[in-house]
Amino acid sequence: MAATITKGYTFGATELVTNVKLHTLVDSATISGIVNAEVSASAGIVFSKLSATAANIGTNASIISTAGARIVNLYACSAGSISTITGMLTNIPFMLVQRSSGASLALIDASPFYLNGNANLNAIGSNITLVWDGTSYIELGRVDP
């Protein structure tokens, strides 16, 4: 089954585009009918939304498969200090984004992580961008609101 994109705004034949209408078009759009098999690492951007209705992807020591996603939204993550992440692609940056409150996720600046200090992704929106070189996770940047 092919994915369906529903526009967040429909323009009339003579209607002018404004910033508000354009934002509504994009921000209120929805995608339905997409399955994991239709999302591949060769796509321009791959998202992984791991929701609170799914099993927790964070355990006490690992983040269960990112499935090659470039952006991994962490929902309902109950992890402490992470020592492994599975499913990322070699030499392709990926971002871990904390999306739930009350979660506690830490990455320690020690092998296999090469970070600019320990990372605590505890606040909603905090994120870290990493790249897996086949041996180590190397930090490219982070945001901690």
Cα–Cα distance for residue pair 27/69, rounded to 1 Å: 21
Rounded mean pLDDT of 36-55?
A: 41
List the beta bridge partners of residue 32.
4
pLDDT digits (tens, 9 = 90+) for 75-114: 656 556 777 788 788 898 888 888 777 666 788 888 889 9
Measured torsion, CA atoms of residues 79, 84, 89, 90, in degrees rounded to the nearest 10? 150
Residues 12, 14, 15, 18: is their CA dihedral positive or negative? positive
Q: Is 55 exposed, middle or buried (0-12, 13-18, 19+ CB in 10 A)?
A: exposed
**Alpha helices (H) along 3-106:** 19-27
pLDDT digits (tens, 9 = 90+) for 67-80: 777 887 776 565 56
Cα–Cα distance for residue pair 120/107, rounded to 1 Å: 6
Residue with tokens 């910033």: 19
